[in-house]
Amino acid sequence: MPDSTIATEPASTGAVTTGAVGSPTAAVLEQILDARHSCRAFTSEIVAEETIEQILRMAQRTASWCNSQAWQVDLVSGDATAAFSTALMDHVMSNDMRSDLPIPERYEGVYGDRRRASGFGLYSALGIERSDHEARSRQMLENYRFFGAPHVAIITTDAGLGTYGAIDCGAYVSTFLTAATSLGVATCAQAALALYSDGVREHLRIPEDRLIVCGIAFGYADTAHPANAFRTERADLSDVVRRHG
């Protein structure tokens, strides 16, 4: 069921009030942004078609370079999700990683620190020791079960649009996650799926001129599962903003 901790109606009715700090609209948006987190254990409850349609409609409002809307979405639901997971798991077990988009060779400095902190946060919530490589790989493989989600969206970009298209898709993913949260739908963006682009492409018959950016698992959160019990932090504004003038 939708997450009832998020108010479903803005505090004011009628026209959207924007433009003032503390406006009801900004407060609701901030509440949604605060509530969103990566869900790594879902119930099997499917999301109603009209809810999925609304998420897609809202995500479609994403801004993009020259309004090119580089994204396309392969939406997998129901029995097709289980079949996709089986095919992908087989692929992962017998093939090397290959990503359509170049992946970072390493995460250095603060990026490495943040990456480790988010990984250890998850493993510690799950009671997995840092040295337990087997349990860590089992948890990594959960990506290819979509963490039990009944739906997964694969986001692709047009090969010809290069970095610009990939940025547009990133923005699309963010709007999708936010829109889903506003409807009580839990999500997890999944670059892990793009690490095995060949398997995803083959199973969903994605054309060669579309590059696989990432997946988004979505459904309803299993709130009792320990994987959903931890939250990540964010750097201070002073660490990311340089002011001029």
Sign, Cα dihedral of 123, 112, 196, 232: positive
| 191 lies in the binding site for ligand FMN (CB under 6 A) | yes
Which CB sits closer to ligand FMN, 204 or 221? 221
Query: Quick check: 92 and 85 in contact, CB under 8 A?
Result: no
Query: Quick check: 157 and 215 in contact, CB under 8 A?
Result: no
Sites for ligand FMN among residues 91-110 (CB under 6 A): none
| 216 lies in the binding site for ligand FMN (CB under 6 A) | no
Which CB sits closer to ligand FMN, 182 or 190? 190
Number of residues that bind ligand FMN (CB under 6 A): 13
Residue 244 Cβ vs ligand FMN, minimum distance, rounded to whole Å = 28
Which CB sits closer to ligand FMN, 87 or 191? 191
| 188 lies in the binding site for ligand FMN (CB under 6 A) | yes
Sites for ligand FMN among residues 113-142 (CB under 6 A): 118
From candidates 152, 154, 200, 214, binder to ligand FMN by CB under 6 A: 214
Query: Quick check: 156 and 206 in contact, CB under 8 A?
Result: yes
Dist. CA 151–CA 86, nearest whole Å: 14
Helices (H), 101-211: 109-125, 133-141, 162-182, 191-194, 197-204
Residue 48 Cβ vs ligand FMN, minimum distance, rounded to whole Å = 24
* β-strand partners of 126: none
Among the candidate windows 36-44, 50-58, 59-67, 203-211, which touches ligand FMN by CB under 6 A?
36-44
Residue 170 Cβ vs ligand FMN, minimum distance, rounded to whole Å = 7
Which CB sits closer to ligand FMN, 21 or 240? 240
| List of residues 6+ apart from 179 with CB closer than 8 A | 54, 55, 58, 59
From the CB of residue 159, how many other CB atoms can be counted at a distance below 10 Å? 14
| 192 lies in the binding site for ligand FMN (CB under 6 A) | yes
Dist. CA 25–CA 230, nearest whole Å: 28
Query: Quick check: 185 and 55 in contact, CB under 8 A?
Result: yes
| 187 lies in the binding site for ligand FMN (CB under 6 A) | no
From candidates 152, 183, 186, 189, binder to ligand FMN by CB under 6 A: 189
Which CB sits closer to ligand FMN, 24 or 87? 87
Cα dist from 6 to 130, 156, 212, whole Å: 34, 30, 32
**Applying CB under 6 A, which residues contact ligand FMN?**
37-38, 40, 118, 143, 173, 188-192, 214, 232
